[in-house]
Structure 1
């Protein structure tokens, strides 16, 4: 008869889930203005740096608007200069010019100054708008998709590129809301990667506070301890989330428990080999081995298969 001797030993409570590799940052680079694409220099797979020019939209209409606004500024500067000369001349003439004439000249200077400031602001605004015709990379990354072509006429919010930062990819996993409550940022995990025999350590960097109403799960994001070289985004990996570590715990197979969902118990074998039922308490967790929190002490022996012998029966160890 297979017996399990109860003893205390280090134990790790884990939660096994599937995860997916995803870029740390991923965005759709959209056009803030409508027009014709005059430059679209990068294709799928190209690496770009933050601030690098990704696309240019024909800005001829905007250049014309800037020229018109600049000409209006020059005209107003000439008008204001004449108003200032007139006011200065009236001031020198003193009593030979009526007070009303001097006030009109001063008012012309004030109004001309305000109008010049307004027209200069129009030029600045037009130049700021012109900058939107040059679309730049928001961060360094790799072009994953380019759904448009040079020369194409686009509208506002047209997607030009899909850009991702693959330098430090993350792993995302959907965890049931009941179990996600035990997770904390900074918590540890072990990753099993395709084609690699050795597990890789990772840390939890985000636990989504909201529960997805469709799945009843919360998203958990992890970051690996070293780069995930050669593994593209979208690859599925096995994630073992470390929930708790205990230095001295009593652990038994879940299969050794009678009625684990209600009134859990085990079949204990005493020194004379007599079987008896004993109630226990354990941490219910989706794992093959569970931690017993009450009802068992080191040195006790229990049946590995509680159905192998009924209470009152005498059994002998297979060893």
Structure 2
């Protein structure tokens, strides 16, 4: 019994010693924290800042466009009628002059036949008039002067009538040709909007034919930035579904801004030949300018009120409002042209501080 009592007493002493050590460690930790943090003292709030530094900045304008063929033609009919034959399907490759559709031309053929018959009759009359004029000339003084003049006038009238009838026949034949619609260029039929038996007219688009040997991207830019877009600018093009960007160049910029959309249409050519479906969406990053040594700040650090912009700068632990000028551009960072110097600390969240406030730069 005495031995058991001794063991129990030893365990209690060891447990008490452990709690005393733990308490001592907690008191020591609290003392260190109090010495370092001094919670009884009021401290200035910490704010995130960025040190202004010079470096390279690229101004990029991001827009979305669509793949298009450089040469695309909407094929319409110059006449009205019923489509008898449709000889090209959507997606078909065609050559210039290939027949796309034939329209009922019975009436036009009848007009050609009438014009040809009239011309044949006119030629007969011309031959008769020429023969009469030649006889009158051969008779010489045996024929009266008025008879010779009448024969010459009849020949001239018959000749003029042949000229008129020839022109009428050519016009009728030209009209007949319009009932056969052919492809205006080598390319691919992108769209077919006519079926056999359908009535067509000059207002209806029948086919869209495009030369797919040279593709480009069509898009437009907001008028706010349109003056910075010129032919020859480099572009990074990333078609939807592709992970690798392709290089391109602005090849056309329309000289006017569309007043209804406020956009300026541009075309971007691929630097290397591509095979992409027409109409595919392409993300285009137009490289407007590249500068090697300029000051820049996050756009969120700049506050604009009316026509004046400012930033919050930390000077000797105090917030100071500083007016700045910058090159406005749709990007997370903008080029600052005046108001701050390299090395100054600019508050990244200007709404969180006020001028004259004491802060600690974080």
TM range, smaller chain: 0.7 to 0.9
**Corresponding residue of 2:281:** 236
Instruction: Decide whether aligned partners of structure 1 residues 82 and 182 sit closer, same or farther in structure 2, where only a CA change above 3 A counts.
Output: same
**Corresponding residue of 1:21:** 67
* Larger CA deviation: 45-54 vs 155-164: 155-164
Question: How far, CA to CA, are the matches of 1:26 and 1:43 in structure 2?
Answer: 17
5 Å matches for 1:110-129? Answer: 110-129=156-175
Matching residue within 63, 81, 93 for 2:109: 63
Structure 2 residue 137 is matched with structure 1 residue 88: no
> Gapped runs of 5+ residues in structure 2?
1-46
TM-score (norm. length: structure 1): 0.86
Instruction: Decide whether aligned partners of structure 1 residues 258 and 62 sit closer, same or farther in structure 2, where only a CA change above 3 A counts.
Output: closer
Q: Which has the larger radius of gyration?
A: 2
1:117 is displaced (CA, Å) by 1.2
More helix, by proportion: 2
1:273 is displaced (CA, Å) by 5.4
Higher RCO, 1 vs 2 (CA within 8 Å, ≥6 residues apart):
1
Instruction: Provide, for residues 6-47 of structure 1, a one-character-per-residue CA deviation record: whole Å limited to 9, x for no partner.
Output: 232221112222223334344431121223323211111112
Structure 2 residue 332 is matched with structure 1 residue 288: yes
1:101 is displaced (CA, Å) by 0.8
Question: How far, CA to CA, are the matches of 2:115 and 2:178 in structure 1?
Answer: 18
Matching residue within 293, 298, 310 for 1:248: 293
Question: How far, CA to CA, are the matches of 1:20 and 1:306 in structure 2?
Answer: 40
Instruction: Provide, for residues 155-209 of structure 1, a one-character-per-residue CA deviation record: whole Å limited to 9, x for no partner.
Output: 3444322323333333233422222122223323222322222222222233344
Instruction: Provide, for residues 259-298 of structure 1, a one-character-per-residue CA deviation record: whole Å limited to 9, x for no partner.
Output: 475532333345x555533322111222110001112233
5 Å matches for 1:239-318? Answer: 239-259=284-304, 262-269=307-314, 275-307=319-351, 311=356, 313=358, 315-316=360-361, 318=362
Instruction: Decide whether aligned partners of structure 1 residues 159 and 17 sit closer, same or farther in structure 2, where only a CA change above 3 A counts.
Output: closer
5 Å matches for 1:184-223? Answer: 184-223=230-269
Instruction: Decide whether aligned partners of structure 1 residues 277 and 34 sit closer, same or farther in structure 2, where only a CA change above 3 A counts.
Output: closer
CA RMSD after TM alignment: 2.6
TM-score (norm. length: structure 2): 0.77
Matching residue within 138, 149, 163 for 2:195: 149
Query: Residue 99 of structure 2 contacts residue 180 of structure 2 at CA under 8 Å; is this kept in 1?
Result: yes
SS of equivalent residue, structure 1 residue 24: strand
Instruction: Decide whether aligned partners of structure 1 residues 42 and 268 sit closer, same or farther in structure 2, where only a CA change above 3 A counts.
Output: same
Query: Residue 268 of structure 1 contacts residue 303 of structure 1 at CA under 8 Å; is this kept in 2?
Result: yes
1:149 is displaced (CA, Å) by 1.9
Structure 2 residue 159 is matched with structure 1 residue 159: no
Q: How many residues align?
A: 315
SS of equivalent residue, structure 1 residue 197: coil
Instruction: Provide, for residues 126-166 of structure 1, a one-character-per-residue CA deviation record: whole Å limited to 9, x for no partner.
Output: 22222212211122332233222224343344432232333
Query: Residue 239 of structure 2 contacts residue 280 of structure 2 at CA under 8 Å; is this kept in 1?
Result: no
1:114 is displaced (CA, Å) by 0.9
Query: Residue 249 of structure 2 contacts residue 270 of structure 2 at CA under 8 Å; is this kept in 1?
Result: yes
Instruction: Provide, for residues 183-236 of structure 1, a one-character-per-residue CA deviation record: whole Å limited to 9, x for no partner.
Output: 223323222322222222222233344444443333333222234424x33333
SS of equivalent residue, structure 1 residue 280: strand
SS of equivalent residue, structure 1 residue 264: strand
* Larger CA deviation: 76-85 vs 130-139: 76-85
Question: How far, CA to CA, are the matches of 1:165 and 1:223 in structure 2?
Answer: 14
Instruction: Provide, for residues 45-67 of structure 1, a one-character-per-residue CA deviation record: whole Å limited to 9, x for no partner.
Output: 11212222211223333333223
Query: Residue 3 of structure 1 contacts residue 301 of structure 1 at CA under 8 Å; is this kept in 2?
Result: yes
Matching residue within 74, 91, 94 for 2:120: 74
